[in-house]
Amino acid sequence: MLISIVAPCYNEEAVLDRFHEEVQKVAEELLPLGHDMEFVYVDDGSRDRTLTVLRRLADLDSRVRYVSLSRNFGKEAALLAGLRHASGDSVVVMDADLQHPPALITRMVELRAQGYDQVIARRTRTGDKLTRTLAARLYYRLVNRLVDVRLVDGVGDFRLLSRRVVDAVVNLTEYNRFSKGLFAWVGFPGTTFEYENAAREAGRSSWSMRGLLNYGLDGLLSFNNRPLRAALHLGMVLLLIAGLYTAWIVGAALVNGVQTPGYVTIITAVTGLAGVQMIMLGVIGEYTGRIYYEVKGRPHFLVKATNVERAKDLIP
């Protein structure tokens, strides 16, 4: 069985050699068991010498395939590029910063042999700050009440996929991609095991707080239309409240005569309703923007350089 390792890379020059050494060790362990391996690295428009390192690795190891994108399209696009260029019977998706331990690949292959199409590594929260743990739990609890698929805290992209899962995910052509949700949406039999996350061996994470927030919103909006439905329900509730308030004002005027309206009440109502309207317009705008990107039909990424065609000729 041919196993493809797909690793998106963004400014990973300092750690790529070390990462490749580790996955090579795993490949040597699996070779006697009848498993060959290829390494598919996707350079997501890195600003450092990541592409230079990948070219050197490809010269030294014929199993290395690299795909360099024309600019930084984001991790989701890089991941899709890797899946499209992977030719293995099974594909392991992982980060190149060694926070996903390569030693776990062997366990994934063992579980794959039991018939699972998805073997998922779930990171424990051991060592995380309490605030981060609580925020993650709150986010997943909220999201799972809204989205159409189930997202599990600690489960990311680190997993082994069978060929039919890879083909199913690649055939989903939507522009706004949220891979964790797509992996859950396609289904197929799967199993999960836990591991403790490792620290980065070099460099620093490219994820900012703003990026994480936007990524979380993608997960919330990509698999449901409940925010739009919530806007409709909220509008109906506000209309009911306004009708009751109007009836109360009219009744009070008939009984007690016309009184001067309260300034505070008016300002509070106007300000509150304006805030609600802006939030609902923002929600509608998010969905409209996604439709806009889908309708344009632009490719998810553009390839600047690759050795995949040449590498395929070297496969024994």
Q: What is the pLDDT of residues 289-316, one digit of tens each?
A: 777 777 777 788 888 888 876 444 434 3
Task: List CB contacts of 227: < 8 A, sequence separation 6 or more.
Answer: 146, 220, 221, 283, 287
Q: Which of 3-17, 107-121, 167-181, 206-220 has the lowest mean pLDDT?
A: 206-220
| Same-domain status, 88 and 190 | yes
| Same-domain status, 282 and 265 | yes
The structure's pTM equals 0.69
Place of tokens 């331990």: 101
- The predicted pLDDT at position 87 comes to 86
Mean pLDDT of the 195-200 span: 68
| Same-domain status, 191 and 278 | no
| Same-domain status, 142 and 250 | no
| Single-letter residue type at 207 | W
pLDDT bracket for residue 249 (50, 70, 90):
low
| Same-domain status, 242 and 185 | no
| Same-domain status, 237 and 214 | no
Q: Which of 95-104, 169-178, 197-206 has the highest mean pLDDT?
A: 95-104
Rounded to 5 degrees, φ, ψ at 313 are -70, -20
- The predicted pLDDT at position 217 comes to 63
Mean pLDDT of the 265-285 span: 70
| Same-domain status, 256 and 116 | no
Total of domains in the chain? 2
- The predicted pLDDT at position 316 comes to 39
Q: In this model, does residue 252 exceed pLDDT 80? A: no
| Same-domain status, 23 and 46 | yes
| Same-domain status, 108 and 120 | yes
- For residues 279 and 178, the model is more confident at 178
- For residues 294 and 37, the model is more confident at 37
Read off the CATH number of the domain in which 213 is found. 3.90.550.10
Q: Residue 71's domain spans which residues?
A: 2-223+300-312
| Single-letter residue type at 195 | Y
| Same-domain status, 282 and 305 | no
Q: Is 164 helix (H, G, I), strand (E, B) or coil?
A: helix
Q: For a pLDDT cut of 70, what percent of the chain falls above it? A: 67
Q: In this model, does residue 56 exceed pLDDT 60? A: yes
- The predicted pLDDT at position 121 comes to 87
| Same-domain status, 171 and 231 | no
| Same-domain status, 153 and 247 | no
Contact present, 79 and 6 (Cβ < 8 Å): yes
